[in-house]
Structure 1
Amino acid sequence: MKEVKNIFVTIHFILFPLLGLCQQTPQFSQYMYNTISINPAYAGSREIMVINVLNRNQWVGIEGAPVTQTLSAHTSIPKSNLGVGLSVINDKLGFERMTYVYSDISYKIDLDAYDEYKLTFGIKAGFRKYSLDDELLNDPLYNNDPELANVDYKWDPNFGVGLYFRGDSFYLGLSAPKIFRYKNNTEYFSLDRMTYFLNGGYLLDVDRHIKIKPAFIVKYTDGAPISVDISSMMLINENLWIGANYRLGDSLGALLNFKLTEGFSVGYAYDYITSNLNYATAGSHELMLNYEFEFPKPRCTCKNLYN
């Protein structure tokens, strides 16, 4: 048994730092509902309180594959152009774990007299902590390894910036959620690299029962290939969203979001892997809960493009 574990740890040291180049910032199939985690300018854009919880199990069947949980909330500040947000991300890849805690503040500018076009600037500030799984640290085969002893477990500060442009039926965002670049004190473990995001979407009213909203997100991490996601969802009777998404060269997926009660919805995404990992995994699963709290007096007449 120890021999098998020894082989797995060796493979982890060789393979997962390479996978980590693509996993620097966690990826989500339901990215349109979790924009606050990557773009601080999104804070308060709905002018209501939004709370989002998400869990993603990537590449199910591959031991040590990424597992990610997020908790986020954001709202506008009454009688001001300011928005605030908070996000916590826990990302596990192999024996490595990244924890991010960030706060967000945004400032909105109305670009026309009809309150149709808005440009928002945002700043994200917080900390990240790198750690290793207790199973590895407590294993007598490795707990005396000097490389493990050199891993830095302190909380490192970081900040990010973002822009968010919104019209009555579309949005476009550009952000860099992590400006500082950190390297751990050992050659084995992955480097925290700067990542850029460009995302956008459009809401099309087909009739009073059906709406269509295509969306995209482009992610670029220093030293890694560009990641491109394209999705399209259909809203039926203001209650049920169904759709599909495609991650270029990686996966083809299905999206589902259902409004359980007024303000509360649940979402699910499944990714069928089309890359070379297809033979080893049953795909990726993502579950999301979303809660919206409206203020006593509605302060936003804009369409609900995305949560």
Structure 2
Amino acid sequence: MKKILLLSIVSAFVFPCFGQQQSQYTQYMYNTMTVNPAYTGTRGLPSVFGLYRAQWVGMDGAPSTANFAVEAPITQNGQGLGLSFINDQIGPASESIVTVSYSYPIQLAAELFLSLGISGSLDFTKVDYSKLNVYDPDDPYLSGILNKTSPNLGAGVYLHSPKWYFGLSAPLILETKFYDDVKMSVVSQNMHFYAIGGYVIDLSGNTKFKPAALIKAVSGAPIAVDVSANFLFMDKLTLGAAYRWDASVSGMAGFQVSPGLYIGYAYDYDTSGIGNYNPGSHEIFLRFDLFAMTKYRLVSPRFF
């Protein structure tokens, strides 16, 4: 299995690379700004978000993702500004993306808003071939370090009310190819499209239910579908499950520790063949809502 994973990593950087390239999250419903800039600031108060995901635990060179984001409304009418940092590691390769996001809301009805968002980002890609166990250490294609930097743009729309939301976005509009004429390798970064939606149903005074879905599309890969179902009890405890089409099933839990602090955890079990070689994936996040920096107060914790 290690040989298969190593071959996949090497192939991605020695030959043209296509397929799903953006970071993958199970708890996407709490991390929406990463895939849609129009979400920025729509929660109505400044927030700080941190997430760490360890995928395929126990496998050498397995992917890991760290995500840190800050967002806030910056005007009376709810325009939002956000900054995020993502670092992906897989085998000898690492990718860091710094993104600035901005959103502008349009009120369509008393409790219905359409947010328009744009983003600008810098992508720093690094491949350290010396970390590979190379059969021939003198192989010119598998030695040295590849460093590439590229700018990109993103855009999105986000329609939302207190009970439901729907968004469409393309966080990376520019298609970029990093070409190394010495190693004759191409790393291709393709345009991604996302559709996200969710609905909150009041089952009782103390229980809310929210089904949600995320659809991802990129050239060269099958459409990916994530669906989830979460229950919120007493505005404190969240329990739920998720399914990633032909890939994994997940369990999720979250707790509102205080009015300003929420912690969430997810465990993924792979349903594909690779699940036979690892015990699963783990994802944890913290979200801090900075009530002291705004005159607004949430009546109860937002479910999205």
- TM-score normalised according to structure 2 size: 0.89
Residue pair 2:45, 2:294 contacting (<8 A) in 1 also: no
Residue pair 1:170, 1:305 contacting (<8 A) in 2 also: no
Structure 1 residues 260 and 134, CA, compared in 2 at 3 Å: closer, same or farther? Answer: farther
Q: Distance in 2 between matches of 1:242 and 1:119?
A: 29
Q: Which residue of 2 aligns with 1:43?
A: 40
Structure 2 counterpart of 1:236, which letter?
Answer: F
Q: Which residue of 2 aligns with 1:297?
A: 295
5+ unaligned residues in a row in structure 1: which ranges? none
Q: Which residue of 2 aligns with 1:131?
A: 126
Q: Which residue of 2 aligns with 1:74?
A: 71
Structure 1 residues 299 and 108, CA, compared in 2 at 3 Å: closer, same or farther? Answer: farther
Structure 1 residues 61 and 16, CA, compared in 2 at 3 Å: closer, same or farther? Answer: farther
Shift of 1:184: 2.2
When you count strand as a share of all residues, which structure comes out higher? 2
- Confirm or deny that 1:101 pairs with 2:98: yes
- Partner SS state of residue 176, structure 2: coil
Q: Which residue of 2 aligns with 1:223?
A: 220
Structure 1 counterpart of 2:255, which letter?
Answer: F
- Partner SS state of residue 41, structure 1: helix
Q: Distance in 2 between matches of 1:184 and 1:161?
A: 23
RMSD (CA atoms): 2.8
Shift of 1:81: 3.8
Residue pair 2:9, 2:90 contacting (<8 A) in 1 also: no
CA distances 1:217-242 after superposition (whole Å, capped 9, x unpaired): 00011111111000000011111100
Q: Distance in 1 between matches of 2:188 and 2:254?
A: 35
Shift of 1:61: 2.6
- Give percent identity, aligned residues only: 35
Q: Distance in 1 between matches of 2:165 and 2:190?
A: 27
Shift of 1:207: 1.1
Q: Give the alignment of 1:184-223 within 5 angstroms.
A: 184-186=178-180, 188=185, 190-223=187-220
- Partner SS state of residue 178, structure 1: coil
- Partner SS state of residue 246, structure 1: strand
CA distances 1:180-202 after superposition (whole Å, capped 9, x unpaired): 11222245564211111000000
Q: Which residue of 2 aligns with 1:288?
A: 285
Q: Which residue of 1 aligns with 2:161?
A: 167
Shift of 1:144: 7.0
5+ unaligned residues in a row in structure 2: which ranges? none
Structure 1 counterpart of 2:268, which letter?
Answer: D
Q: How many residues align?
A: 299
Residue pair 1:168, 1:303 contacting (<8 A) in 2 also: no
Q: Distance in 2 between matches of 1:119 and 1:157?
A: 27
- Confirm or deny that 1:255 pairs with 2:249: no
